[in-house]
Structure 1
Amino acid sequence: MPNEIAIYSLTATGALLAHRLKASLEADSYVLERYAVEGDIPFNYLAELITDKFSVYRSHIFISASGIAVRSIAPHLKNKAEDPAIVVLDQQGHFAVSLVSGHLGGANELAGLIAEIIGATAVITTATDCAGVPSIDLLAKDRGLVIGDLGSIKHINAALLDGVKVAVYDPDGVMKIKKSSKHFYIVDTAEELRGLRCGVHIDWRRSDLPESVLCLYPRCLTLGVGCRRGVPAKEILELIESTLKINDVAVQSVLCMGTIDAKNDEDGLIEAADILGLDLNFFSAAELDEITVTKPSGMVMKHMGVGSVCEAAAMKLANAKGILIPKTKSARVTVALAKAVSGL
């Protein structure tokens, strides 16, 4: 597996610091060619190198002036959900500065780790960390929640910084908020979030709420799919999308997709899963036959040797005893959704 961290050093002293960090962090060390030794990856032009490597690594460490790092990464920055972590070190190793993607990208955590390894001071400037209050984007990341609108984060973090308790709708208790929490309180319905300064909505259901309400989606749903031979991805996706829409299901909460192993060479299914960014799991007829569904199909039994494909696959993936969204079908495709009791 390739390394996920890249280190860039531009001086001989910086190269020595990179060598100290490389082994501890399992990183690739890029060193200006005139200072590179065995084990380093030499380069001559930093801007060209960053253009080539920016999206390859999850984290980048610059042993350089912060201005050099900023100018190198500026053309490639997108948003806090996509940008990799950027940390800058001075060549003497006195300071480890979290520069970009402190929370979601993990730059704050990486700066702290680097500081421990080389005895540096971690420099963290994100407001919530400096104020000692929780950051909603970091809480979401830690709990495996998908953030809906990144722009809504600012409303929540601003309220927390102002010392305002934030209302949270969390029917499944994903956030595990205690009654004694100094920062959050639970409301019983999503409607209670309307009219408040801000709020957090945590659910697999879509909801039409103001921009000041941050929607977070737990990845707790599994999608089972069946289809006839040769069905194109477009037809499969149309039924999936319409089923999610009709049932107010957020696509962000769908974790994975499953079907029978007789379809493991079905191009349309494979392409549909790829477009949705979902892992596609295959189960044998015997595995699916272990799952009890309410309305097994004689036609499916005749062709597949099992009473259900889409419902059974969804329930198998979720380790659930019941179905959330029963089989929905079009002319050549069937889909169903199950929900894991305590997440996956």
Structure 2
Amino acid sequence: MNIAVFSVTENGRQLSVRIAEALGAEHRVSRYCFHKHTDDNAAVFWNMGSMVGRLFERSDVFIFVCACGIAVRAAAPYLGTKPDDPAIIVMDDGGRFVIPVLSGHIGSANHIAEILADSLGSTAVITTSEDEAGGFSLESFVAANDLIICDGKAAKEISSAVLHDEKIGFFSNYKHSGLPEELTEFGVCRTGICIDANTAVKPFDVTVNLVPKNVVLGMRCKSDTSAEAVESAVTSALDGIGIKRISCIAAVGEVPELCSFCEKLGVSFKIYGSAELDGGEAECEQIALKSGGKLIIKEKEFDGISIAVSETPVFLDFERKS
């Protein structure tokens, strides 16, 4: 994940260094310091709100080492919808508390807060209701298993039903671990979870459809291909498959716009050389299959851009943490 750490004081600057050290092994961490308290390894800002705006679309997590009100005012103008907003975490510059403010589950703010608390000797202040109750959390499960919520209103009803001890139905053709006690595959339930690529399946009166993010694209295009051409070709190739289902794009050779497109989507980008392929035709199919999935769309060409699509296996693990 791309993590942006903001600080405004000298204590905050020092703490931001420790935050970067705690998270840097697994994530891309960038530090942004107020111009009066900065160092050579941080970018400088004069106006926090403006800097947050510049980074908003390409950041997965914002960590603010400052007063909560400052952080909220800096991020508020750019907030959109719950599934799309980045995680927002606030820490006091004394390093005593780590507070997930936004996107606790889907954006992994709660999980990152707990990592920081363990690493820095701080206290994670988790306020989401499912965590307080200690029961099944739909959003935590979604984040941990790379799923997409297709109906936010239905998702809220599921969370409400859990808090009111109502049994939740579960339907999926994907393999999965044992279900938590709140879920059942048997009997008649008013509300339920359906995990399937087909969002038209509605087994319950209130069904929250979850779709796996398990689509891999194998691509080949010229190095001067434009960003607009890449996006148009991908949309055409997927032929109704949601672009949010892409988990990875693999390419033959390095193409700058493909890399930028992956950053925009927040998906991984893999590059393969000709020596890693068998020398035959359908190179895009070969690299699309290197993730261990099955081919669902054979290689096609869209205005000079070749694309093949595969789907990786799904295993739903209710014990997995995001």
Counterpart amino acid of 1:129?
A: D
2:194 paired residue among 198, 201, 220: 201
Distance 1:235 1:41 in 2: 34
Unpaired segments ≥5 residues, structure 1? 227-231, 290-304
SS of the residue aligned with 1:87? strand
Check whether the contact 2:196–2:211 (CA below 8 A) recurs between aligned residues: yes
**Identical pairs, percent:** 24
Aligned CA distance change for structure 1 residues 211 and 225 (closer, same or farther; 3 Å): farther
Instruction: State the Cα deviation string for residues 245-302 of structure 1 (Å, max 9, x = none).
Output: 6xxx66655656789x7xx89xxxx8xx98x968798897x9679xxxxxxxxxxxxx
1:74, distance to aligned residue in structure 2 (A): 0.6
Distance 1:252 1:44 in 2: 35
SS of the residue aligned with 1:54? helix
1:30, distance to aligned residue in structure 2 (A): 2.8
Aligned CA distance change for structure 1 residues 38 and 324 (closer, same or farther; 3 Å): closer
Check whether the contact 2:100–2:109 (CA below 8 A) recurs between aligned residues: yes
Check whether the contact 1:148–1:217 (CA below 8 A) recurs between aligned residues: yes
1:59, distance to aligned residue in structure 2 (A): 1.9
- 1:143 paired residue number: 145
Check whether the contact 1:204–1:250 (CA below 8 A) recurs between aligned residues: no
Check whether the contact 1:220–1:255 (CA below 8 A) recurs between aligned residues: yes
1:79 paired residue among 61, 72, 81: 81
Aligned CA distance change for structure 1 residues 42 and 184 (closer, same or farther; 3 Å): same
- 1:217 paired residue number: 211
Aligned CA distance change for structure 1 residues 120 and 309 (closer, same or farther; 3 Å): closer
1:202, distance to aligned residue in structure 2 (A): 0.7
Counterpart amino acid of 2:191?
A: C
Aligned CA distance change for structure 1 residues 123 and 313 (closer, same or farther; 3 Å): same
Distance 1:154 1:334 in 2: 40
Check whether the contact 2:237–2:300 (CA below 8 A) recurs between aligned residues: no
Check whether the contact 2:2–2:60 (CA below 8 A) recurs between aligned residues: no
SS of the residue aligned with 1:168? strand
- 1:100 paired residue number: 102
Instruction: State the Cα deviation string for residues 148-171 of structure 1 (Å, max 9, x = none).
Output: 223332111111111222111111
Counterpart amino acid of 2:3?
A: E
1:54 paired residue among 53, 56, 66: 56
Check whether the contact 2:168–2:189 (CA below 8 A) recurs between aligned residues: no
Distance 2:216 2:39 in 1: 49
- 2:119 paired residue number: 117
1:335, distance to aligned residue in structure 2 (A): 8.9
Tell me how many residue pairs correspond in the alignment. 301
1:111, distance to aligned residue in structure 2 (A): 1.7
Check whether the contact 1:104–1:141 (CA below 8 A) recurs between aligned residues: yes
- 1:183 paired residue number: 182
Aligned CA distance change for structure 1 residues 329 and 162 (closer, same or farther; 3 Å): same
1:119, distance to aligned residue in structure 2 (A): 1.9
SS of the residue aligned with 2:161? helix
Distance 1:37 1:328 in 2: 50
Aligned CA distance change for structure 1 residues 99 and 288 (closer, same or farther; 3 Å): same
SS of the residue aligned with 2:57? coil
Q: TM (normalized to structure 1)?
A: 0.66
1:99, distance to aligned residue in structure 2 (A): 0.7
Query: Equivalences for 1:33-72 in 2 at 5 Å?
Result: 33-72=35-74
Query: Equivalences for 1:2-41 in 2 at 5 Å?
Result: 4-10=3-9, 12-26=10-24, 27-41=29-43
Check whether the contact 2:277–2:283 (CA below 8 A) recurs between aligned residues: no
Distance 2:43 2:300 in 1: 54
Find the structure with the greater CA-based Rg: 1
By relative contact order (CA 8 Å, sep 6+), the higher-ranking structure is 2
